[in-house]
């Protein structure tokens, strides 16, 4: 645990330990898959596939400290983290209540895979909070939500969900990828388990795939058991890259927050942008909740361009600094159209009903100079 140290210190140092004389300041990458075993030892072997080698373990401990969790485990991807956390909670015949505002991959995992295990799912629109309670039935075991959400950057009020979870003894799992533990720590707000795609802000450099789960020690022990059996351990080099990213997490997120706010404020004044989705703007439906629970409003901005697909394609093809690519949270600004990426499985009508008709683009503000991001958006949209 980080004790009373701040998140920036924890992101740099992890769990503070006495450094041996002449030891390297930068953590070594221990890339070895296997380790010399004492003859006759019945202790657990050291094997990278079991996720118990030095580089893998250290990054898990650092992430636990950042979330304020008893324990955490770093795994091979955000999808692996989501899958393992749910497999650890749910049994055949169980029922899961899930927010309707979730990552497309998560939705497919629930619909195509959890259903195969005989796990039933009820989706709830968080803007109808009375439905959390109404959806509880015999066999309901857990509630899953994502906050802030993709792609409209809605920020959920966990209070009504927590009340129901407590009353019925349900586990609350939260995917907090869009905030990172710098902006939001779900466990401090009553969640039982945090899931994150470390591919995003934790790594932050668009050069590794990883995920993590944090929670109680007994829960993480079960996730670790499943990680071994389902083969989802993180590669040591990817773990090292995530740790390297983590060292600058706090300063990067500060800049992502500043750039997100600057871009959103500028965008709100442009006639060709018909709507801006950013929780730091007073016009955002969750501004009050966001201001009370988030440490910063983040780098993700949703822009609705007037003129539909044609306008969006013209805009994207003229960008020079901002890169047209899926994924998010890298040091470089990235932009994509959810209609072709995260929400490709929905019809245009369904996407409209959810609030992002064709012409919507999702911008992940990087850590470049805000004026350069804005100038690029301006020249492309003019």
Ligand X SMILES: *Cc1c(COP(=O)(O)O)cnc(C)c1O
Residues lying near ligand X in the complex (CB under 6 A) are found at 77-79, 82, 103, 105-106, 146, 150, 175, 177-178, 197, 199-200, 209, 211
Which of 180, 176, 184, 182 minimizes the C-alpha distance to 294?
184
User: Given the complex with ligand X, which of 234 and 273 has the nearer CB atom?
Assistant: 234
Give the C-alpha separation, 34 to 231, whole Å: 15
User: Given the complex with ligand X, which of 27 and 338 has the nearer CB atom?
Assistant: 338
Phi, psi of 195 (to 5 degrees): -120, 140
| Nearest residue relative to ligand X (C-beta) | 78
Cβ atoms 7, 66 nearer than 8 A: yes
Classify residue 284 by its DSSP letter. Answer: S
User: Given the complex with ligand X, which of 68 and 104 has the nearer CB atom?
Assistant: 104
User: Given the complex with ligand X, which of 69 and 374 has the nearer CB atom?
Assistant: 69
| Rg value, the chain, Cα | 21
Q: How far is the CB of 213 from ligand X (least distance, A)?
A: 12
- Write the CB contacts of 215 (distance below 8 Å, at least 6 apart in sequence): 69, 70, 71, 72, 187, 192, 193, 194, 223
- Write the CB contacts of 177 (distance below 8 Å, at least 6 apart in sequence): 78, 103, 146, 195, 196, 197, 200, 201, 329
Torsion (CA) 16, 17, 20, 22 in degrees, nearest 10: -20
Q: How far is the CB of 364 from ligand X (least distance, A)?
A: 10
Q: How far is the CB of 24 from ligand X (least distance, A)?
A: 29
Q: How far is the CB of 175 from ligand X (least distance, A)?
A: 5
User: Given the complex with ligand X, which of 78 and 330 has the nearer CB atom?
Assistant: 78
Q: How far is the CB of 325 from ligand X (least distance, A)?
A: 13
Q: Where are the beta strands (DSSP E) in 103-257?
A: 120-124, 140-146, 171-175, 193-197, 211-215
Q: How far is the CB of 48 from ligand X (least distance, A)?
A: 19
Distance in Å from the first CA to the final CA of the chain: 50
User: Given the complex with ligand X, which of 260 and 381 has the nearer CB atom?
Assistant: 260
């Amino acid at each position: 645990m980080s004790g009373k140290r701040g998140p920036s210190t924890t992101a740099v140092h992890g769990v503070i330990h006495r450094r041996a004389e002449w030891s390297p300041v930068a953590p070594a990458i221990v890339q070895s898959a296997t380790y010399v075993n004492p003859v006759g030892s019945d202790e657990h072997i050291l094997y990278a596939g079991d996720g118990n080698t030095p580089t893998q373990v250290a990054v898990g401990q650092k992430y636990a400290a950042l979330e304020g969790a008893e324990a955490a485990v770093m795994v091979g991807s955000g999808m692996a983290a989501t899958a393992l956390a749910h497999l650890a909670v749910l049994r055949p015949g169980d029922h899961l209540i899930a927010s309707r505002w979730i990552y497309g991959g998560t939705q497919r995992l629930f619909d195509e895979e959890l259903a195969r295990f005989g796990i039933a799912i009820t989706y709830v629109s968080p803007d109808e909070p009375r439905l959390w309670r109404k959806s509880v039935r015999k066999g309901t075991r857990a509630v899953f939500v994502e906050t802030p959400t993709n792609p409209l950057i809605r920020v959920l009020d966990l209070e009504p969900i927590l009340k129901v979870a407590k009353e019925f003894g349900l586990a609350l799992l939260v995917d907090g990828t869009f905030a990172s533990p710098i902006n939001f720590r779900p466990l401090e707000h009553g969640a039982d388990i945090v899931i994150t795609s470390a591919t995003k802000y934790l790594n932050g450099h668009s050069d590794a795939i990883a995920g993590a789960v944090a929670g109680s020690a007994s829960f993480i022990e079960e996730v670790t058991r499943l990680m071994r059996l389902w083969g989802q351990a993180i590669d040591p080099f990817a773990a090292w890259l995530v740790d390297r990213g983590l060292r600058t997490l706090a300063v990067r997120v500060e800049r992502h927050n500043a750039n997100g706010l600057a871009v959103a404020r500028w965008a709100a004044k442009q006639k060709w942008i018909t709507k801006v989705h950013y929780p730091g703007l007073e016009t955002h439906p969750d501004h009050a909740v966001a201001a009370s629970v988030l440490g910063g409003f983040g780098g993700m901005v949703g822009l609705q361009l007037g003129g539909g697909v044609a306008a969006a394609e013209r805009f994207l093809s003229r960008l020079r600094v901002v890169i047209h690519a899926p994924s998010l949270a890298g040091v470089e600004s990235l932009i994509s159209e959810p209609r072709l990426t995260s929400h490709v499985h929905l019809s245009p009508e369904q996407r409209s009903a959810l609030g992002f008709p064709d012409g919507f683009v999702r911008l992940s503000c990087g850590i470049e100079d805000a004026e350069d991001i804005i100038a690029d958006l301006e020249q492309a949209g003019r």
